[in-house]
Amino acid sequence: MKKNIKYALILLSICAISTAALALTNSITAPVIEVQEEENRLAALKAVSMGYEIGVQEDIVGDRSVTFVTDLKDGGQTVGYILGLKGAGYGGEMALVASYKPDGEILRVQLLSHNETPGLGKKAENAGYMAKYEGTGAGSEVPTNKNMLSASDAQAVSGSTVTFAAIGKALEAGSRYVNELGGK
């Protein structure tokens, strides 16, 4: 009995020390990670802004796909919008930013975060991958499956069909959202 109590106290001590070490590590790294994520977000906004002035971000609550909206301005005039979007890919939730014209046409897209399969879904990190969506949304449908692409583009997304569809559906929802804004 005494032996079991001794082992229990040793295990309790190990757990307490491990917990304290993890808490200390988290308190040191959390602020650094938060700053890095904000820098990445701002860089992504700039990358999709097309050189326009980026307005104030408004968080959106209650929408399945849109997380925030920001005006794009040129000389005080709203010339488009940047949306924060989320989609459900093969590896879970994906975060994107995309810029749109007021009519819902997609200008630029950038992937912020994802957990997609290396070598397959990670193809979405490439700029050429996102180019397949640019120019769609107003006069033409946003591609949400490979059948909507040319044969060469469909081959380029081969193996990442779920990722492609998730991004397409999020961008399509963003295009609808911008249309509903009505040039606000």
Total count of domains within the chain:
1
pLDDT value of position 159: 56
Residue 25 resides in a domain: no
pLDDT means over runs of 10, the chain (184 residues): 89 94 92 87 85 89 89 89 84 83 90 62 64 82 71 60 79 88 61
Residue 159 resides in a domain: yes
Residue 76 resides in a domain: yes
Residue 41 resides in a domain: no
pTM over 0.85: no
pLDDT value of position 117: 54
pLDDT value of position 153: 61
Range of the domain at 130: 49-181
Residue 20 resides in a domain: no
pLDDT value of position 41: 81
CA 109 → CA 25, 36, 75, 135, distances in Å? Answer: 34, 20, 23, 11
Residue 9 resides in a domain: no
Residue 93 resides in a domain: yes
Residue 125 resides in a domain: yes
**Residue written as token pair 């509903």:** 180
pLDDT value of position 81: 93
